[in-house]
Amino acid sequence: MVTMSTVPKIWTRETGLVEKRDLFAAMKRGFRGRCPRCGEGKLFRAFLKTADNCSVCDLDFTPHRADDLPAYLVIVIVGHIVVPTILWIETNYTTPVWLSFVAYLPFTFFASLGLLQPVKGAVVGLQWALRMHGFDDNPPDGIPPV
């Protein structure tokens, strides 16, 4: 038996009639620290602080909600590089402990620092391309503003 819902629909046909944004291009622009829409303006005004808007196309960056996702992604990426490398080295070679600390810890530290801003930019680009949070210029009814 099929029952019809009386809940008002949020998504309408008009809501879906928006231009498609290129996800890969937006993430690549964000990874390079550029505006996900135009690829020209700077995305960051400090290390991890996004600018308020694009200096070229005036895209508002404030609706992004990257939160902790870039840090989690950096942990996954760096962990998948560091852990297998250390395991391979430690099982095949005998290295002194001091050399391990001098090599592994700085590499992990600087790789994490180096990836944090690009990954955050890519996350902002992803959110813009998928119209997440406040990046949707035609939001459906019933969703409160951010």
> Which residues fall within 8 angstroms of residue 49, CB to CB, at 6 or more apart?
none
Q: Confirm or reject binding of residue 57 to Zn ion (CB under 5 A).
A: yes
> What 8-state DSSP symbol labels residue 134?
G
- What character string, x for contact with Zn ion (CB under 5 A) and - otherwise, covers 13-42? ----------------------x-xx--x-
Q: Which tokens belong to 106? A: 């700085």
C-beta closer to Zn ion: residue 29 or 66: 29
User: By the 8 A CB rule, do 124 and 35 touch?
Assistant: no
CA distance 40 to 4: 49
C-beta closer to Zn ion: residue 51 or 71: 51
User: By the 8 A CB rule, do 128 and 26 touch?
Assistant: yes
Min dist. Cβ of residue 125 to Zn ion (A): 11
C-beta closer to Zn ion: residue 30 or 70: 30
**Residues at the site binding Zn ion, with contacts judged by CB under 5 A:** 35, 37-38, 41, 54, 56-57, 59
